A and B are shown apart, each in its own frame.
Chain A
Amino acid sequence: MPLPAQLDRTIVTGTIMASAIGLPYIVVLSVLGLMGRISGAEVVWWLLAGLILVGAIGSVTSNNVVHAALSLVVAAMGVAGMFLLLASEFLALVQVLVYGGGVAILLLFALMMTNASDDPIVVDGSQKPFGFGVALIMGIVMVSATVGASWDATITTVVSFRDIGTRLYRDYGVPFEVASLVLLVALVGAIAIARRDTEESDAA
């Protein structure tokens, strides 16, 4: 069956995969939640975890660089949701602003600047199986180390903006200033590195 022109293969396969994996996932979670097997917070947690993992897998496996950058935004928004669940609303807001606003735009901007459309993009190297093995072992080690651990842990109440401000400016004043200096140097450095040297090109 010929597809309409505006539906390219990525969109079709993406939609099919999202419905095949996402819908059962959401249905199972809602049923479990409605039956009272898991709490509402846990339903939200598993939804966010699924969102983060889908975004992360998309951004490291996608062959289209723009899709990879947009998947990173999906993962970052999921992480912001996790921060909300962890009672750090300030961090959730910062995450949305910095990643959704700043980093994503920067990445897309750089992608547009560096990808001439006739330039074939080499996405993955020949070390792919090796890299997959190493990352798999690393993931297994880290997850297995955390699964069995028992902590004397209780979730805190919401960390308020006022407390964060007090702690940041009273106890971490110097690191805060140093961080602003780092940002300034990064800004100046990025401009100095990326700008065209007009004098050199004139001389050449």
Chain B
Amino acid sequence: MISLNHYLALSGVLFALGFYGVLVRRSAILILIAVELMLAAVSINFVAFASYLDAKLFTGVIFAIFVITIAAAEVGLALGIVLRIYRERSTANVDEASTLKW
């Protein structure tokens, strides 16, 4: 039988992988990809808790819907910013885009 702990462990590993990506990657888009992994891990956690412990209200499922919505908005906005930075400074490397004002 698949227990709740299976899902929690998987989402922990997935979150740590995304965290590693955020820390290590230097290209802004690759950092965004790693953030998406972390958000997916959180969604798994929410839905797992909702399915196992909250069968009547399934609040975690609703929360996961909002997480996916915010993730989509965040990706769209962040990619707009990345495009802008690339156009102004011709780099997508976050280390080189370290000044707030040019």
What is the interface of chain A, defined by CB distance below 8 A to chain B? 39, 41-42, 45, 49, 52-53, 56-57, 59-60, 65, 68-69, 72, 75-76, 79, 82-83, 85-88, 90-91, 94-95, 98-99, 102-103, 106-107, 109-111, 113-115, 119, 121-125, 127-128, 130-132, 134-136, 138-139, 142-143, 145-147, 149, 151-157, 159, 163-164, 167-168, 172, 175, 179, 182-183, 185-187, 189-191, 193-194, 196
Cβ–Cβ < 8 Å partners of B25 in chain A: 60, 123-125
Name B residues whose Cβ lies closer than 8 Å to a Cβ of A. 1-10, 12-21, 23-27, 29-30, 32-34, 36-37, 40, 43-44, 47-48, 50-53, 55, 57-58, 61-62, 64-66, 68-77, 79-84, 86-87, 90, 92-93, 95
- Chain A contact surface mostly: helix
Contact check, A91 vs B65: say whether CB atoms are below 8 A apart: yes
Of B37, B61, B74, the residue contacting A159 (CB under 8 A) is B61
B32 touches A114 (CB 8 A): no
Please report the C-alpha to C-alpha distance between residue A167 and residue B73 in the assembled complex, in whole angstroms.
23
Q: Taking the nearest CB of chain A, how far is it from the CB of B65, in angstroms?
A: 7
A110 touches B82 (CB 8 A): yes
Kindly state the separation between the CA atoms of A171 and B15 in the bound complex, as whole angstroms.
Answer: 30
Chain A residues closer than 8 Å to B84, beta-carbon distance: 193-194
CB-contact partner of B62 in A83, A87, A113, A164, under 8 A: A164
User: Shortest 4 CB-CB distances between A and B: which pairs?
Assistant: A139-B16, A131-B23, A142-B12, A60-B21
Residues on B with C-beta less than 8 A from A172 are: 62
Is A146 a contact of B77 with CB atoms below 8 Å?
no
Q: Is the CB of A107 within 8 A of B75?
A: yes
Closest chain B residue, CB of each to CB of A111? B29
